[in-house]
Amino acid sequence: MIQLNSLQELSEWISENRDLPRVLVPTMGALHRGHTSLFDLAREQSLHGRVMVSIFVNPTQFGPTEDLEEYPRSLQEDLEECRLHGVDVAFTPQVSEIYASDASISVQESQLSKRLCGASRPGHFDGVCTIVAKLFLMAQPDVAVFGEKDFQQLAVIRRMVRDLNFSTRIVSGPTIREEDGLAMSSRNALLSPKDRQDAPIIYESLSKVAQEIASRVHATPNTAIRRIRDLIENAVSGEIDYVEIVDPMTLEPLQSFDQADARLLAAVQFESTRLIDNVGVAGFNTSASR
């Protein structure tokens, strides 16, 4: 595996390997099985080309009061993990390599990113779009792989690719979970032992109500949302940030379960960190399950 630290090294490597397809998996490091499942998916998509992983804790997607300093960093272990998963190139730039100190241009998405996580993390998706756009311009990947764990991020990136005419194809991988159902996340390490014990309730509640929706227990999304909120509130000390049921494409709140597929999403603020999760339900007039 090759480690590239600078833009100069990256562009030299790209010109030496110009003819090989490139698949990029952007990450912020502290790698776990959720990330490595995307490396494996990237390998499947690479058609004998090269799998690239970027490891970069992107400061512009953290708000001023968020956990940029506390965000776990483990570069040496991450590089080993990349090696073990057959990654060809790890791109590990410094912040100064990516952002000029007086940078004054960013990429903003103005619809999908305003709700859900965007409502409580203003500017977060501008940071995400900006770094992903920069990585796409720097690495020029044919394909880029993202996790459904960050469902809103995936929708925002697909929209950015559509609206800015990037030629990179976006592929998504399913959420990988701990044995107790908790979605793997670099932030899980920041939970207190008690909150770690409670945290699987988020997925448990979302999946229980997803099953109830599929069995037509809930007449409207509102009753289903209330049920999820009750299940979470009664079991965890964390504060619910949001529970929503949305159209998976537009992220608009669903008014009924009659036709559309539904995505159930929740965010919970624990004492030391904020966790998100989501689960899909197929619409009643389709046979495909998500």
Catalytic residues: 35
Q: How far is CA 51 from the centre of its chain?
A: 19
Q: For ligand AMP, which is the closer residue by CB, 34 or 221?
A: 34
Q: Which stretch binds ligand AMP (CB under 6 A): 35-43, 83-91, 194-202, 270-278?
A: 35-43
CB closer to ligand AMP, 170 vs 282: 170
Torsional sign, CA 109, 30, 27, 266: negative
Closest separation in Å from C-beta 257 to ligand AMP: 26
Nearer to ligand AMP, 187 or 226 (CB): 187
Query: Applying CB under 6 A, which part among 32-40, 195-203, 212-220, 235-243 lies near ligand AMP?
Result: 32-40
Q: How far is the CB of 143 from ligand AMP (least distance, A)?
A: 13
Q: Where are the alpha helices (DSSP H) in the chain?
A: 7-16, 33-45, 75-84, 95-98, 117-120, 124-139, 151-163, 193-198, 201-214, 221-233
Per-residue interface string for the shown chain with ligand AMP, residues 219-258, x marking contact by CB under 6 A: ----------------------------------------
Least distance in Å: CB of 210 to ligand AMP?
17
Q: With H, G, I as helix, E, B as strand and everything else as coil, classify residue 122.
A: coil
- The answer to whether 231 and 195 are in contact (CB under 8 A) is no
Query: Which stretch in 80-88, 181-189, 227-235, 273-281 sits in contact with ligand AMP by CB under 6 A?
Result: 181-189
Which window, 79-87, 89-97, 175-183, 217-225, contacts ligand AMP (CB under 6 A)? Answer: 175-183
**Displacement of CA 59 from its chain's centroid (Å):** 16
Rounded Cα–Cα distance for residues 211 and 46 (Å):
35
Residue range at the interface with ligand AMP (CB under 6 A); choices 98-106, 179-187, 188-196, 210-218: 179-187
Least distance in Å: CB of 221 to ligand AMP?
A: 25
Interface with ligand AMP, residue 173, by CB under 6 A: yes
Size of the site for ligand AMP (CB under 6 A): 17
Min CB(130)–ligand AMP separation in Å:
14
Give the list of residues 6+ apart from residue 211 with CB closer than 8 angstroms, or none. none
Tell me how far apart the terminal alpha carbons of the chain are, to the nearest angstrom: 35
Nearer to ligand AMP, 147 or 200 (CB): 147
Question: Tokens at residue 62, please?
Answer: 């953290």
Closest separation in Å from C-beta 63 to ligand AMP = 16
Q: How many CA atoms lie within 13 A of 90 on its CB side?
A: 25
Q: And the tokens for 234?
A: 């009664």
Q: In which region does residue 123 sit, left (phi positive, over 0), alpha (psi from -120 to 50) or beta (all else)?
A: left
Buried b (16+ CB within 10 A) or exposed e, 198-207: bbbbbbbbbe
DSSP state letter for 67:
S
Site residues for ligand AMP, 108-147, by CB under 6 A, read 146-147
Measured distance CA(232)–CA(21) in Å, rounded: 44
Q: Which positions lie near ligand AMP, rule CB under 6 A? A: 27-28, 34-35, 37-38, 146-147, 149-150, 173, 175-176, 183-186
